[in-house]
Amino acid sequence: MTDKLEVLRDYIRTEVGHEGDIDPHVDLLESRILDSFSIVQMAVFIQERFEVELDADDLVRANLSRLSAMVAMIDRKLAA
Amino acid sequence: MLSRIASPIQEFGFSAGLLYVLGRGLQAVSSHLRLQVYELMVQPIPDKPLLPSKFGRSFEIREIRRGANEIELMPARPDIKEARFAQGAICLGAYRKGELIGYIWLCFDRYDEDEVRCTYLLSPQGQAVFDFDLYIFPEHRMGLGFVGIWNGVNEYLRERNIRFTFSRLTRFNLPSRRAHAHLGWKRVAGAVFFQAWELEVMFATIRPYFHASIRRSRRVGLNLTPDALTSDQNAGISTGQG
């Protein structure tokens, strides 16, 4: 969990330029850390970095608006 | 009182902030007094999709025709929607799993503005559209809706050899500015319209720069060109940032 969180945090810091810590439960869209374009880019990154296959149904707010939800989705995909 | 003036200036900058305060003040005096502050923008239709194809496939874009049931779901007033069809506008709906998640309106080559008496004339002819009233239903906001719509609209326009889409942005709509920045928007011009009952006065940064009319039938024409995109590309090449 922690490793994946750190990878995702690093991605956001590098690609979006967000500075500081990111609470895994904070809504990244509402807090404007990410927007709908960066969410897509992040989904592509998740596929490549964690070698999971996402489909369009995975790209929903419930899976991508929080770091904790992203990690849970990655874990589900890896376990499947 | 001071904060009511200071905070818009802080948010929008000095001149735009003052216009915002002035506009709000005018509206407080009478509903017949209005100040519309517009930025006219252009964005290129990219050669490549915005979404990876397997994600893009989950959105379907299709034309919503006059009289279709979906028209009633749209929040704009019925007479405004009818006027749009009357001037030849096309409404494209974005569907996901058969559900309408949002829509956008397009006019080819020219668009009669419905807030002020102005017609935008687009060039190059046959290669440009004007997009307006992009709407995403609330339950589909803050997700893929915005990208999905634009991904599909770009494909629709590419198939019709359209290279540019112009739009009008209210100067104070910061979220829209942020969202569209990803689409390669460039500013073409600025225009301010003062409306007092039948009187309408326009100041613009492009020809004719100034226009005043008291007749409803008189519309000012603004020629919009995609030069802002070209000059930006040229600047990029000369500075090695292309």
Q: Is there a domain that residue B91 lies in? A: yes
Residue A19 is encoded by which pair of tokens? Answer: 């500075």
Residue A52 burial (CB < 10 Å; 0-12/13-18/19+)?
middle
The superfamily in CATH containing domain A2-79 is: ACP-like (1.10.1200.10)
Chain-centre distance for alpha carbon A4: 9
Q: Where are the domains of chain A?
A: 2-79
Q: Which of B18-32, B131-145, B171-185 has the lowest mean pLDDT?
A: B171-185
Percent of chain B at pLDDT above 90? 68
pLDDT at B167: 96
Q: What is the dihedral of CA B5, B11, B17, B23, to 10 degrees?
A: -80
Q: Is the pLDDT of residue B168 over 60?
A: yes
| Enclosing H/E stretch for B198 | none
Mean pLDDT value of segment B191-216: 97
Residue B179 is encoded by which pair of tokens? Answer: 């969202």
Q: Is there a domain that residue B27 lies in? A: no
Q: Is there a domain that residue B74 lies in? A: yes
Q: Is the pLDDT of residue B11 over 80?
A: no
Compute the distance between CA of residue A55 and CA of residue A62 in angstroms, rounded to an integer: 14
Q: Is there a domain that residue B20 lies in? A: no
Does A39 contact B at CB distance below 8 Å? yes
Q: Which residues contact B43 (CB under 8 A, 6 or more apart)?
A: B164, B165, B167, B180, B183, B184, B185, B186
Q: Which residues contact A21 (CB under 8 A, 6 or more apart)?
A: A9
Compute the distance between CA of residue B14 and CA of residue B9 in angstroms, rounded to an integer: 5
User: CA nearest B191: which of B199, B203, B208, B173?
Assistant: B203
Q: Is there a domain that residue B23 lies in? A: no
Residue among A30, A59, A61 whose CB faces B55 most closely: A59
Asked whether the beta carbons of residue A40 and residue B182 sit closer than 8 angstroms, the reply is no
Beta strands in B109-239, from DSSP E residues, in sequence order? 110-112, 118-122, 128-136, 164-170, 186-196, 199-204, 210-213, 220-224
Q: Which of A16-20, B34-38, B156-160 has the lowest mean pLDDT?
A: A16-20
In this structure, the strands spanning B118-122 and B220-224 are parallel
Q: Is there a domain that residue B6 lies in? A: no
Q: Residues A46, A70: contact at Cβ < 8 Å?
A: yes
Whole-model pTM: value is 0.87
Chain A CB contacts of B180 below 8 Å: none
Q: Residues B100, B94: contact at Cβ < 8 Å?
A: yes
Compute the distance between CA of residue A10 and CA of residue B83 in angstroms, rounded to an integer: 50
CATH number of the domain encompassing residue B216: 3.40.630.30
Asked whether the beta carbons of residue A29 and residue B142 sit closer than 8 angstroms, the reply is yes
| Number of folded domains that form chain B | 1
Q: Could you tell me the pLDDT band of residue B174, with boundaries at 50, 70 and 90?
A: confident
Asked whether the beta carbons of residue B143 and residue A60 sit closer than 8 angstroms, the reply is yes
Q: Which residues pair with B120 in a beta bridge?
A: B111, B222
Q: Is there a domain that residue B19 lies in? A: no
Residue B120 is encoded by which pair of tokens? Answer: 């935008």
> What backbone phi and psi angles, to 5 degrees, belong to A71?
-65, -40
Q: Residues B10, B140: contact at Cβ < 8 Å?
A: no
pLDDT at B157: 97
Asked whether the beta carbons of residue B182 and residue A56 sit closer than 8 angstroms, the reply is no
Distances (CA, A) of B185 to B34, B38, B111: 27, 15, 19
Q: Could you tell me the pLDDT band of residue B177, with boundaries at 50, 70 and 90?
A: confident
Q: Could you tell me the pLDDT band of residue B1, with boundaries at 50, 70 and 90?
A: low
Q: Is the pLDDT of residue B65 over 60?
A: yes
pLDDT at B235: 46
ipTM over 0.90: no
**CA angle, B206 as apex, B10 and B13 as ends, to 5°?**
5
Domain span at residue B57 reads 32-238
Q: Which residues pair with B171 in a beta bridge?
A: none
pLDDT tens digits, residue range B208-241? Answer: 999 999 999 999 999 999 999 977 554 443 333 3
pLDDT at B207: 97
Compute the distance between CA of residue A52 and CA of residue B3 in angstroms, rounded to an integer: 51
Q: Is the pLDDT of residue B162 over 80?
A: yes
pLDDT at A60: 84
If one compares B141 and B239, the residue with the highest pLDDT of the two is: B141
Where chain A has pLDDT below 50, the residues are: none
Residue B68, SS3 per DSSP: coil
Question: What's the gap in Å between the CA of A46 and the closest CA on chain B?
Answer: 14
Mean of pLDDT over chain B: 89
pLDDT tens digits, residue range B68-122? Answer: 999 999 999 999 999 999 999 999 999 998 999 999 999 999 999 999 999 999 9
